[in-house]
Homo-oligomer: A and B are copies of this chain.
Amino acid sequence: MAATRDDVARLAGVSSSTVSYAISGRRTISAATRQRVEQAMAELDYTPNAFARGLAGARGGIIALHYPYGRRGVTASEFEYVAAATDRARERGYHLLLWSNPIDDVEGLGSLVSEGLVDGAILMELTADDRRVPVVSRARLPFTNIGRPDDVDGLWFVDADYDALGRLAIDHLAGLGHDHVFFLSQSVRQPERGSGPVGRADSALVASACQRGVRLETHRAENSVPGGRAAAGAFAALAPRPTAVVAFNETALAGFVQTVAATGLSIPGDVSVVALSIGDLAAEMTSPPLTTVSPPGGEIAATAVDHLVDRLEGRRHDAPHVLVAPQLVVRGSSAPPTRP
């Protein structure tokens, strides 16, 4: 059916190993020979067989992106990560395999790894004490991470700069004149508390608020629409009522905004709202649209791919720790407080 390396060799009048070397560039080839090989390949419309290449010991050209199964909804638009990773992988000559299994199904991940299918992996949504890390390390599979573990030593990772995320939000509001802010946060599971995205944004918010002389009321809501409605109730009951809200809880924010509007409070007249880590579409659905501070998911994913490929190809050995700056997009939901 499809042409093999031998067909190419025959047509070019060289040995098959010469064809291999012409492709890989791992030994010097005379210009004339290379010429003929290339012509033969073009003529036969030759594509090397991926399995044979992988079996024979070269890189298979596949990397895996692993995300924990059943832990959806953490990032605004996961597809942004996946799409960006796929594109960058292709640009660098790799295929992107999607892996997903329950976060503590260590065996499942283990057998994926030992199948030998992939040259390396990217672990998404890394938690503080992620059980995937030892599994992949032990198998000696090169990997990079999206997210930051507690023990960062020797690990390659790229993460959103959650400190900056919190700081940008507070600075924006304080700059507008707000000095009393409601933080619509999320309930986090034990292992993550203190070191996951929420914990880090939380600390940054507290620190920035303190520095700016802003009073901060933290409310941990369920990640659900009703959770947001309850939070709106808690917010409304506060006296004095904060003049602004920072939200790091997509789903609850929806319920919160609905309830606030139904209560007759206006945004940003009565409350300014800044949403963290929310997608553009969701931000544009409210009236007025929401001011946001979000990490650039595409850039984060593409960087993680670059690191992994650099590592696989021996161009880099330094276990980089990269924090990517989030971006503030001012829309209509934030304004100076209207107060005597």
Query: Which residues of chain A have a CB within 8 Å of any CB of chain B?
Result: 2, 45, 47-52, 54-55, 60, 62, 69, 72, 77-79, 82-83, 86-87, 90, 95-101, 111, 114-117, 225, 250-251, 253-255, 257-258, 261-262, 279, 281-282, 284-289
A99 to B90, CA, bound (A): 8
User: Does A90 contact B83, Cβ atoms closer than 8 Å?
Assistant: no
A81 to B139, CA, bound (A): 31
Across the interface, A49 reaches (CB within 8 A) one of B55, B279, B289, namely B55
Residues of B within 8 Å of A254, CB to CB, are 281, 284-285, 289
Q: Which 5 A-B pairs have the closest CB atoms?
A: A51-B54, A261-B287, A254-B284, A285-B285, A79-B79
Residues of B within 8 Å of A261, CB to CB, are 287
Q: Which residue of chain B lies nearest to A267 when distances are taken between CB atoms in the complex?
A: B287
- A55-B52, A100-B87 given as contacts; is B284 within 8 A of A286 (CB)? no
A54 to B52, CA, bound (A): 8
Across the interface, A51 reaches (CB within 8 A) one of B51, B279, B287, namely B51
Q: Which residue of chain B lies nearest to A101 when distances are taken between CB atoms in the complex?
A: B90
Q: How far is the CB of A267 from chain B (nearest CB, A)?
A: 10
Q: List 26 A-B contacts (CB under 8 A).
A: A45-B114, A47-B114, A47-B115, A47-B116, A48-B115, A49-B116, A50-B54, A50-B115, A69-B87, A72-B83, A77-B79, A78-B83, A82-B98, A86-B99, A86-B100, A90-B101, A96-B98, A97-B98, A257-B285, A261-B287, A262-B288, A281-B282, A285-B285, A285-B286, A286-B287, A287-B287
